[in-house]
Structure 1
Amino acid sequence: MGVSTSSPDKGVALVTVDFPPVNALPVRGWHELADAVRAAGRDPEIRCVVLAAEGRGFNAGVDIKEMQREHDGTGGHAALIGANHGCADAFAAVYECEVPVVAAVQGFCLGGGIGLVGNADAIVASEDATFGLPELDRGALGAATHLARLVPQHLMRALYYTSRTATAAELQAHGSVWRVVPRDGLHAAALELAREIARKDPYLIRLAKAAINGIDPVDVRRSYRFEQGFTFEANLSGVADRVRDTFGKDSSGTERQA
């Protein structure tokens, strides 16, 4: 369990996230992921990073239960601040990785998962992959910055306000997913793209990554940080706790079964 790095092909690093049961990352998990991606990008032998996950889904966002446990015990916001810093660290690590990052997405990609894939250079997804920001249902805000990199502006807003998800096929139609493949072929398809990238000159591919980031019309660090301020306001006002307390329960207040 945790974050691991392997090198399945020459010039390719595979960073794999595994936090059962749903890859909802605790604070330490986000920082571990950031460290792994940065380390892979700094390795002079690596020319492409594949970001993947084990289990049912790619990423379910932050570990809300971790925040609830700490808040219930202390009344403070250390876990919330930690999660915000951890997400910002991981998102930035993907965006600023010195070599291209290919995200291999299966199942659900929610919340913080959108921050990761929205900052990746390319996305390969399984046929069952779904992408969305259920933040408003969880007493939070954020990652609209990254969802806006995946879908057009008005669709982004509708998805954000409703907490609905989009399929991998829908994102491919909008041009943000490179390939949609059967689930059992996901890693092979992601590695195929990574190998093609890794065949480029190692110095030139790093220049290309820096150049493309340099012409990006949106400063993703600043944009996401602006969004985070509203998450803090939601928590200070008490509305976030009120919404989070209903998360995982049905309309009668009974705990839902996973």
Structure 2
Amino acid sequence: MGVSTASPAEGVAVVTVDYPPVNALPVQGWYDLATAVRAAGCDPHVRCVVLTATGRGFNAGVDIKEVRRSAGHDALIGANRGCYEAFAAVYDCEVPVVAAVQGFCLGGGIGLVGNADAIVASEDATFGLPELDRGALGAATHLARLVPQHLMRALYYTSRTAAAEELHRHGSVWRVVPRERLLEAALELAGEIAAKDGSLIRLAKAAINGIDPVDVRRSYRFEQGFTFEANLSGVAERVRATFGTDRPTREGQHP
């Protein structure tokens, strides 16, 4: 259990997240993920990073149970800072990051893939932000990089998910493949990227980040402020008290 790094092919590093049963990361898990991605990107022998996960789904966001059982706001602050660090590590990684997504990609998972350079998804992958059902706000910054503006808003307000095939139609998912071929497809794309000159691919990553119309780090930090407001006002705890009981996230493609 945890975060591990492997090098299955020349120039490619694979960072794998393994937090069963659903890859809802504890505070330390977000920091460990950030460290692993940064380390891989800093390795002069690496020219592309593949971010993947084990189990049923890619990522279920923050470990809400850890937040609920912690007194005060320490766990909430830790989760927010940890997510910020992990999302920034993917975005700022010196080399391109390919996200390999299976099953559910929710909450913090959207922050990761929204900041990735490319996404390969399995046929059963779904993407969404159930934040309003969990007493939180955030990562609209990253969902807006995956779907058009009005669809982002509707998905955010309803906590619905969008299917991988729909994101493929919008151009944010590179390929949709059977689950058993997911890692293979991600490594294929990573290998094509890693075939480029290492110095030039790093310059390309910096150049593309430099022309982004939205500063994703500042934008996400702005969103986080509203999460703290919701917690200080008591609204978040009232909503979190229903988590896992009568307010399930609506799965599947929106109508």
Secondary structure in 2 matching 1:46: coil
Amino acid at match of 2:61: G
Amino acid at match of 1:185: R
TM-score, reference length from structure 2: 0.96
1 CA distance for matches of 2:195 and 2:171?
24
Deviating above 2 A after TM superposition, structure 1's stretches of 4 or more consecutive aligned residues are none
Match of 2:61 in 1: 61
Match of 2:213 in 1: 217
Secondary structure in 2 matching 1:14: strand
Deviations 1:90-109 (A, max 9, x none): 00000000000000000000
Amino acid at match of 2:54: E
Matches within 5 A, 1:180-195: 180-195=176-191
Report the Cα offset of residue 29 of structure 1. 0.1
Secondary structure in 2 matching 1:150: coil
Q: Do residues 174 (structure 1) and 170 (structure 2) align?
A: yes
Match of 1:165 in 2: 161
Q: Do residues 85 (structure 1) and 81 (structure 2) align?
A: yes
Secondary structure in 2 matching 1:205: helix
Aligned residues: 247
Report the Cα offset of residue 3 of structure 1. 0.1
Amino acid at match of 1:244: R
Match of 1:30 in 2: 30
Secondary structure in 2 matching 1:20: coil
Match of 2:225 in 1: 229
2 CA distance for matches of 1:3 and 1:31?
10
> What is the aligned-residue identity percentage?
84
Matches within 5 A, 1:39-58: 39-58=39-58
Matches within 5 A, 1:116-131: 116-131=112-127
Secondary structure in 2 matching 1:180: strand
Report the Cα offset of residue 250 of structure 1. 2.6
Match of 2:21 in 1: 21
Q: Do residues 206 (structure 1) and 208 (structure 2) align?
A: no
2 CA distance for matches of 1:115 and 1:11?
25
Deviations 1:16-61 (A, max 9, x none): 0000000000000000000000000000000000000000000000
TM-score, reference length from structure 1: 0.95
> In the alignment, which of 102, 105, 116 is matched to residue 106 of structure 1?
102
2 CA distance for matches of 1:168 and 1:35?
28
Match of 2:12 in 1: 12
1 CA distance for matches of 2:62 and 2:11?
31
> In the alignment, which of 192, 196, 206 is matched to residue 192 of structure 2?
196
Q: Do residues 245 (structure 1) and 228 (structure 2) align?
A: no
Amino acid at match of 2:99: A
Match of 2:136 in 1: 140
Task: Could you tell me which runs of 5 or more consecutive residues in structure 2 were left unpaired when the two chains were aligned.
Answer: 248-255
2 CA distance for matches of 1:227 and 1:202?
35
Secondary structure in 2 matching 1:166: strand
Secondary structure in 2 matching 1:131: strand
> In the alignment, which of 139, 149, 152 is matched to residue 148 of structure 2?
152
